[in-house]
Amino acid sequence: MNSVGEACTELKREYDQCFNRWFAETFLKGERGADPCGQLFRRYQLCVQKAIKEKDIPIEGLEFMGPSKGKAESSS
């Protein structure tokens, strides 16, 4: 599947390959540790954000994966 921005498609493929390799070879074996794909993900994320702005895609009201600065703490 291609990315929202044509310029981001190769970064997406690189990240997907890295993630799938890590998931199969490390995570599913119960191993934990550093995220070897984090830097690739950040580069891809920045590219997608730029493409969204350039294409003027409305994103108001959408929630995204990742930490939220204004997220309310659970009271349980």
Q: What are phi and psi of 28, to 5 degrees?
A: -65, -15
Phi-psi region of 56 (alpha: psi -120 to 50; beta: other; left: phi over 0): left
Q: Of the candidates 66, 63, 10, which has an alpha carbon nearest to the alpha carbon of residue 38?
A: 66
Largest CA distance in the chain: 44
What's the pLDDT at 61? Answer: 67
Low-confidence residues of the chain, pLDDT below 70? 61-76
Amino acid at 29: K
Assessment of whether the complete model's pTM goes beyond 0.85: no
